[in-house]
Amino acid sequence: IKFYSLNKLDYDVHSLPYSLRILVENVLRHLNNGIVTEEHLANIFERKGEIPFYPARIIMQDYTGVPAVVDLAAMRDYVAEKGGDPSKVNPEIPVELVIDHSLIVLYHGTKYSLEENMKAELNANKERYSLLKWASKAFKNFRVVPPGKGIIHQINVEHLARIVFYENGLAYPDTVLGTDSHTPMVNGIGVLGWGVGGIEAEAALLGQPYYMRVPEVVGVVLEGEPSPEVTPTDIVLTITEKLRKKGVVGKFLEYTGNLEALSAFDRAVIANMTPENGATVGYFPIDGETIRFIELTRGKKKAKLVEKYAKLNLMFREEEPKYDDVVKIDLSKVEPSVAGPTHPEDRIPLKKLKESFKPKKKVKIVLEGEHEVEDGIVALAAIASCTNTSNPFNILAAALLAKKAVERGLKVKPWVKTSFTPGSRVVVKYLENLGLMSYLEALGFHVNGFACASCIGNSGPLKREVEEAIGEGLVATAVISGNRNFRRRVNPLIEHTYLASPPLVVAFAIAGRINIDFEREPLAYDPNGKPVYLRDIMPTREEIKGLEKIVGEEMFKEIYSNLFESPYWDMIKANEGELFEWDDKSSYIRKPPFFELEPLKGDIKGARVLVFLGDRISTDDISPAGKIDPESPAGKYLRELGVDNLHTYGARRGNHEVMMRGTFARFKTIYWPTGEEMSVYDAAMRYKQEGIPVIIIAGKQYGVGSSRDWAAKGPALLGVKAVIAESFERIHRSNLVGMGILPLQFKDPSVRKELDGSEVYDIIGLDDLYPGKTVKVIARKPGKTVEFEAIVRLETPIEVEYIRHGGILKYAVSRLLS
Ligand code: SF4
């Protein structure tokens, strides 16, 4: 095999972290193409400056993919209008879009739930799916995985990832950018990749390099062996807590030490929660276990190729590289845990769970008889999410626990909505082969969909009686085997969500409450009145490991033989032309006006604060994914269109009219010139009418959460010119830049406390922007003027270009037309 050899370099490659070796190969392969130079190579070894990076492929999901396709379709129109060739707007590298974010768990608890939910999904999403089907025919290199196949990252790990590409005799590493923050899950099997904003992905698929700062690499040294009672979920929750405390935002993590203690599936669980610890990448180098996993999922031939290439080109784990920093984590100290109630890094050891939650209110609920319940009841128990349903150990543990519970005559409490939404059909295949599916079903965990579902907030309605009790002030909780638990993420009525392993999800469904001491209190009583404790039905590690062997190569082969086909997909109609046929009446898909946005020109004068925010504002706070309130600006707009089913913001991301109205939908703001309180959208429109520029002021970790590009597109359409924050989360900062919004960071964070948002702002020094520049901000209000400095959070010269052009899309199209 031919390859760009790292062996021949004059640098000390052996001491370079494995993840950076992949970047070196990327630079070597593109060296002297007019953009990539020897200096970029040096930058990697010296950990300084930036490099242009060319991913081998892009992955998208439908929430972020639909707007990306809308942009590409609008770009084709724009190029055609300007006399250019629209077919040049075309992905230059493979793009795979997995439809997984739209299914809602409307039906649950019966063998018909899956079909009913899928029918409802297709009905509600015809227009969006029609656009995607058009795109799969109109664009080269663009494939769509139809709904009902699974979750993007799980499918990527199990099938889509090439690990090593082999084309025309040339081998090179698979590298991937994904428009979803959990893209690093694939780092668990030796593929370098991370989440980016939809806007950056669009630029990359159009052949633009992705510019990145060379990151520091933190070696995460795993020591010891996990004790028999812990699950991969317990391990990842512990790692998340420790790494958040250490502070690894924006860095590459590379796992080292006793990696033999972890299967490739376990590694994928750990890599999945990389955004939760704040790092960009959580890389596991290729080793014997990776090769075994590739053999299982992709066959012997592929495994051999990967092994050969990785060994020949210094990418197979052997010697210990030098890391910029090191953190040690002792696996033997991991204990059974959950995380919550509102942040994934807030781990709670299971034994301390009861004392962490103090119920206050009691209410009576009539559901299969009358029950007195109190705060902390589990209203939703969901085995869901790519994080944990990708791991057979976790799923088999849940199924075995269900079997033992059923055999002891236990039932799920009547107020719990149960849900099972695996990330791939392989899961059901092995559960059925082992005869375990029926036990999960006996407890109400029927498959409701192969999709994100509850993990993205599509958990559907809770039991009606529970919703009423919540309306009376009862605090209900959710337990989910996912990776995020921000307030109301999983369900709009639930503020407290606990992340837990799949077997614990089943256990909590049986217990029916979160404030339980599993050591001392029984889960429930069997029909003979005997108490049953968690320890009585928790399967042993040996039992689970024994069954894990059943998961075989033929299952992956069978399930993935028809990944891009589906009878449901065949029913979706789509036009076949080069240009998309926009429907002016569509409430889901509209041609966006991004190409008409004015770029930032020089200093900002006389600006008002559109919204004044605190710390840790998430992308979900900025651009929610969940249900549209009929009384909100977006709800009113849709009702004026005559739309009854308002659906979710996530599903309507192809319609900018909905999305700009939904931006900051959960907040009220003040229109400062008159002091009136109103929605953020209404205020923005008033400022626009008056020709007043607007900015946002925020605290620490602005944009925490996801790669959601609408969290930047929405503010751009509302006229926001700059965001001044105490700090930014990585992906959101680059999304802001991608949309032409200037990120500025308080030089002295304490200044924010002197402001209240009522001031009029001048931002001076924006004429000659460069990364890291300090600019002056003057905030005036009657009787007080605050003058302070802010740092321009642009990281590379190309980002200055993006701001000057009004964002990446306008920059890319200007190059196409020239
Ligand atoms: Fe879907 Fe949740 Fe996985 Fe994101 S983390 S891809 S929402 S299942």
The domain that holds 184 is classified in CATH as 3.30.499.10
pLDDT number for residue 224? 97
Tokens of 481: 């085997």
* Residue 798 domain boundaries: 594-817
Q: Judge whether 217 lies within some domain.
A: yes
* Residue 248 burial (10 A CB sphere; 0-12, 13-18, 19+): buried
Tokens of 345: 């890094």
H or E element, residue 57: strand 57-61
- 329 and 345 co-located in one domain: no
In this prediction, residues 336-351 reach a mean pLDDT of: 96
- 189 and 226 co-located in one domain: yes
The residue with tokens 């991991």 is 334
With a 6 A CB cut-off, is 386 part of the ligand 1 pocket?
yes
pLDDT number for residue 213? 87
In this prediction, residues 777-803 reach a mean pLDDT of: 95
Using CA positions, which residue lies closest to atom 1 of ligand 1?
Answer: 452
| 319: helix, strand or coil | coil
Q: Judge whether 27 lies within some domain.
A: no
Using CA positions, which residue lies closest to atom 7 of ligand 1?
Answer: 456
Nearby residues of 355 by Cβ (< 8 Å), 6 or more positions away: none
pLDDT number for residue 88? 84
In this prediction, residues 67-90 reach a mean pLDDT of: 92
CA of 153 to the centre of ligand 1 (A): 8
- 702 and 672 co-located in one domain: yes
CA of 321 to the centre of ligand 1 (A): 32
pLDDT number for residue 708? 84
For 691-703, give the DSSP string: T--EEEE--TTBT
pLDDT number for residue 324? 98
CA of 483 to the centre of ligand 1 (A): 8
Decide which of 285, 314, 333 is a domain's last residue. 333
pLDDT number for residue 48? 93
- Ligand 1 atom nearest residue 61's Cα: 6
- 77 and 152 co-located in one domain: yes
CB 813 within 8 A of CB 78: yes
CA distance 69 to 56: 19
CA of 456 to the centre of ligand 1 (A): 6
With a 6 A CB cut-off, is 482 part of the ligand 1 pocket?
yes
Decide which of 539, 555, 579 is a domain's last residue. 539
pLDDT number for residue 464? 96
With a 6 A CB cut-off, is 186 part of the ligand 1 pocket?
no
| 376: helix, strand or coil | coil
In this prediction, residues 248-259 reach a mean pLDDT of: 96
H or E element, residue 29: helix 18-30
In this prediction, residues 175-180 reach a mean pLDDT of: 96
Using CA positions, which residue lies closest to atom 3 of ligand 1?
Answer: 386
Instruction: Answer whether residue 705 shows pLDDT above 80.
Output: no
CA distance 698 to 613: 5
Burial 581-616 (b: 16+ CB within 10 A, else e): eeeeebbbbbbbebbebeebeeebeebbbbbbbeeb
In this prediction, residues 393-415 reach a mean pLDDT of: 98
Give the per-residue SS3 of 153-168.
HHHHHHHHCCCEEEEC
With a 6 A CB cut-off, is 151 part of the ligand 1 pocket?
yes
Q: Judge whether 463 lies within some domain.
A: yes
Confidence band of 197 (pLDDT split at 50, 70, 90): confident
- 300 and 355 co-located in one domain: no
- 425 and 517 co-located in one domain: yes
First to last CA, the chain: 38
CA of 405 to the centre of ligand 1 (A): 28
Tokens of 101: 């974010």
* Residue 473 burial (10 A CB sphere; 0-12, 13-18, 19+): exposed
* Residue 758 burial (10 A CB sphere; 0-12, 13-18, 19+): middle
Q: Judge whether 43 lies within some domain.
A: yes
Q: Judge whether 544 lies within some domain.
A: no
Pairing of strands 760-764, 604-612: antiparallel
- Ligand 1 atom nearest residue 423's Cα: 8
CB 532 within 8 A of CB 522: yes
With a 6 A CB cut-off, is 483 part of the ligand 1 pocket?
yes
With a 6 A CB cut-off, is 157 part of the ligand 1 pocket?
no
CA of 453 to the centre of ligand 1 (A): 8
- Ligand 1 atom nearest residue 706's Cα: 4
H or E element, residue 421: strand 417-421
For 93-131, give the DSSP string: S-EEEE--S-----S-SSTTHHHHHHHHHHHHTHHHHHH
Q: pLDDT over 70 for what percent of the chain?
A: 100
- Ligand 1 atom nearest residue 152's Cα: 6
In this prediction, residues 789-809 reach a mean pLDDT of: 92
Give the per-residue SS3 of 59-83.
EEEHHHHHHHHHHHHHHHHHHHHCC
pLDDT number for residue 199? 82
H or E element, residue 815: helix 808-817
Tell me which residue of 678, 32, 22 sits closest to 313, measured CA to CA.
22
User: Would the CA dihedral through 355, 361, 364, 365 be positive or negative?
Assistant: negative
| Tens digit of each residue's pLDDT (9 = 90 or more) over 595-644 | 989 999 999 999 999 999 999 999 999 999 888 999 999 999 999 999 98
Instruction: Answer whether residue 707 shows pLDDT above 80.
Output: no
CA of 386 to the centre of ligand 1 (A): 6
Of 103, 151, 491, which is best to mutate to test ligand 1, by the most ligand atoms within 8 angstroms of its C-beta? 151
Alpha helix positions (H), 607-648: 619-622, 633-640
CA distance 260 to 281: 20
Of 388, 420, 455, 489, which is best to mutate to test ligand 1, by the most ligand atoms within 8 angstroms of its C-beta? 455
For the chain, the maximum distance between any two Cα atoms, rounded to a whole number of angstroms, is 80
| Tens digit of each residue's pLDDT (9 = 90 or more) over 643-691 | 988 888 988 999 999 999 999 999 999 999 999 999 999 999 999 999 9
Decide which of 539, 563, 578 is a domain's last residue. 539
- Ligand 1 atom nearest residue 154's Cα: 3
CB 732 within 8 A of CB 712: yes
Per the prediction, the chain carries an average pLDDT of: 95
Phi, psi of 408 (to 5 degrees): -90, 5
With a 6 A CB cut-off, is 152 part of the ligand 1 pocket?
yes
Confidence band of 798 (pLDDT split at 50, 70, 90): confident
Q: Which value, to the nearest 10 degrees, does the dihedral of the CA atoms of residues 505, 509, 513, 519 take?
A: -70
- Ligand 1 atom nearest residue 100's Cα: 1
The residue with tokens 């769970």 is 353
- 440 and 498 co-located in one domain: yes
Of 385, 387, 481, 620, which is best to mutate to test ligand 1, by the most ligand atoms within 8 angstroms of its C-beta? 385
| 527: helix, strand or coil | coil
CA of 355 to the centre of ligand 1 (A): 30
- 520 and 409 co-located in one domain: yes
Instruction: Answer whether residue 706 shows pLDDT above 80.
Output: no
Q: Judge whether 16 lies within some domain.
A: no
pLDDT number for residue 650? 82
With a 6 A CB cut-off, is 452 part of the ligand 1 pocket?
yes
Q: Judge whether 317 lies within some domain.
A: yes
- Ligand 1 atom nearest residue 385's Cα: 8
H or E element, residue 668: strand 668-671
Instruction: Answer whether residue 773 shows pLDDT above 80.
Output: yes
> Is the ipTM of this structure higher than 0.95?
yes
Of 63, 100, 485, which is best to mutate to test ligand 1, by the most ligand atoms within 8 angstroms of its C-beta? 100
- 499 and 399 co-located in one domain: yes
Instruction: Give, in order, the Cα–Cα distances in Å from 734 to each of 671, 699, 812.
Output: 28, 17, 16
Query: How many domains does one find in the chain?
Result: 3
CATH of the domain at 702: 3.20.19.10
Report residue 130 CA to chain centroid gap: 24
Tell me which residue of 575, 763, 2 sits closest to 312, measured CA to CA.
2
Q: Judge whether 551 lies within some domain.
A: no
Percent composition of the chain: helix, strand, coil (DSSP 3-state, to 5): 40, 20, 40
| Tens digit of each residue's pLDDT (9 = 90 or more) over 719-759 | 999 999 999 987 789 889 999 999 999 999 999 999 999 99
CA of 784 to the centre of ligand 1 (A): 47
In this prediction, residues 225-242 reach a mean pLDDT of: 97
CA of 183 to the centre of ligand 1 (A): 10
- 326 and 350 co-located in one domain: no
- Ligand 1 atom nearest residue 484's Cα: 5
- 111 and 236 co-located in one domain: yes
| Tens digit of each residue's pLDDT (9 = 90 or more) over 510-527 | 999 999 999 999 999 999
- 767 and 676 co-located in one domain: yes
